[in-house]
A and B are shown apart, each in its own frame.
Chain A
Amino acid sequence: MHDKTVTQLAAALKSGELSSRELTSHFLQRIEKADGKLNSFITVTAEQALAKAEAADKARAAGNAEPLTGIPLALKDIFCTQGVKTSCGSKMLDNFIAPYDATVVEKLSAAGTISLGKTNMDEFAMGSSNENSYYGAVKNPWDLSAVPGGSSGGSAAAVAAGLIPAAMGTDTGGSIRQPAAFCGITGLKPTYGRVSRYGIIAYASSLDQAGPMARSAEDCAHLLNVIAGHDVRDSTSMARGVPDYTETLNAPLSGLKIGLPKEYFGDGLDPEVEKAVRDAVKVYESLGATVREVSLPHTHYAIPAYYVIAPAEASSNLSRYDGVRFGHRCDDPTDLIDLYTRSRAEGFGEEVKRRILIGTHTLSEGFFDAYYTKAQKVRRLIRQDFLDAFQEVDVLMGPASPTPAFDLGAKKDPVSMYLQDIYTIAVNLAGIPGISVPAGFAGGRPIGLQILGTHFAEAQLLNVAHQFQQATDWHLKLPAFAEENA
């Protein structure tokens, strides 16, 4: 069962070949057995899941099944879940039982899916390796000495290891696409404003976006159907119709114009990764697509701009963790300043503090214009690069990350860690959608092909990714770990 896609499992549930109860128990057992080695879950909600699975089976028997009724899923621990610990990977929220559900969680629940638990992540989604979690690092099921990527590392590792058929992640600078690439699964970051952010613990509000992580683009289409759409509780979610993303999956690709940004194939790109990406592009050519080189001239300014904008927003977003209404509070505060400074110093990890300090500094008097205003101007130039490119081509393709998954503990210096996100970060600054699909291996570690589209082009991205997956089987490969720990 664990090697099946959501699409296959949904069909098995529909035909009566499987019950949700069986499916849920199966995955709960796998988590129980294998997750000690991966550390991909922070919280497993077995009891609630089994109860919901029974309810799903009853609903199906009564003829009230939705397409995904009874499908088990996992949620990155950044989504607020009523009555369930929502830690955001932080000691700060280790004691936080969310009193409400995020809109995405509500929608998934209304669609009949069953959450088996909350997955590990970099604290407050700040990280590219999942080593910044209060709950410990997550391991990559393809190679336990490698990182799974981050910040949605727990979701990616759990799906790759067959502990869950699909999971929800969030992506602020690559946090869905990069771990999907490192773990050999498919991960979609939708257009900013496509999926409600309500109830998702904010890192950088103008960049954060939730999306599905699964075995295939088709699975992502099913899940996006459920979570996309306007939410009156999120001013930045767009009131725009949601198509059925599964309907266009099989549209032919003949005539598709693919652009290869020359800046995505430069220095620092691992040759094996480059080869895998170029091979993938050849597959597209064989499917009738045309390929040309394009330029995104401000690519190299994306990381500098991001490391002003994201920490600035984060420094403000994380001010609410003050030990007063929820979250960690230090013992015996002597006065107000002691309550604040000690609760926050104890509750936040190193990387979070680093980003709060950068953000606070760059927003402060005397530095605001040189950093923040400048970064926002560069952000416009970066977005314009993409809009110009999409005048010429339909989609852009390139690597999701310059290298395959690196070793745990390999990147001690924050800047060298940040530079890993060179191909993913500009996408968030521009607000466009991107998807990472498995496209090969280097040294036994997966390689991700990133496909980018213009704003609200999710249907096209899913179609383009799905067609690749019809022609290749990279996405069907399972790590040995998945079998050994069955």
Chain B
Amino acid sequence: MALEESHVRRAAHLARLAVSDDQASGFVDDLSRILGMVDQLQSIDTKDVAPLAHPLDATQRLRADEVTETNQRDSFQRCAPAVEEGLYLVPRVVE
């Protein structure tokens, strides 16, 4: 599957990564080679194979519905770039 610059642009947009024109063409080259290598997968017959998401065949353990956390806002917000009145600040969001 050939990779076009539009694919890279679209991925960069979805991933919220600013990519300059120079970088974009570099990424097209790199990603094309990587995906070319990945394309080897297409040569295996996997018709009757179920996808494997986890290496162990384990199932989800459930947690009791208990409140175990206490307020640590001050500690957590010490590493925040911009806070005011306990809120994280971002540029105005327009609905």
Contact = CB atoms under 8 A, between A and B. Distances in A.
Contacts of A413: 33
Contacts of A46: none
B33 A414 contact: yes
Contact of A374 (B7, B19, B41, B60): B41
Interface of B: 1, 3, 7-8, 10-12, 14-19, 27, 30-31, 33-35, 37-42, 44, 46, 49-56, 58, 60-61, 63, 72, 75-76, 78-82, 88, 90-93
7 contacts: A305-B41, A307-B34, A308-B38, A335-B92, A364-B14, A378-B49, A383-B52
Nearest to A351: B30
Indicate the member of B10, B12, B42, B63 with the most A CB atoms within 10 Å.
B12
Contacts of A335: 91-92
A224 interface: no
Contacts, number: 179
Contact of A344 (B17, B46, B88): B17
B40 to A, nearest CB: 5
B34 A358 contact: yes
Interface string A197-227: 0000000001100000000000000000000
Given A354-B27, A381-B49, A415 B93 contact: no
A315 interface: yes
Given A192-B55, A326-B80, A339-B90, A358 B35 contact: yes
Contacts of A326: 79-81
Nearest to A348: B17
Pick the 8 closest A-B CB pairs, nearest first: A431-B55, A376-B51, A345-B18, A380-B52, A340-B16, A329-B81, A377-B46, A341-B18
Interface in A182-208: 191-193, 206-207
A381 B46 contact: yes
Contact of A298 (B3, B44, B52, B90): B44
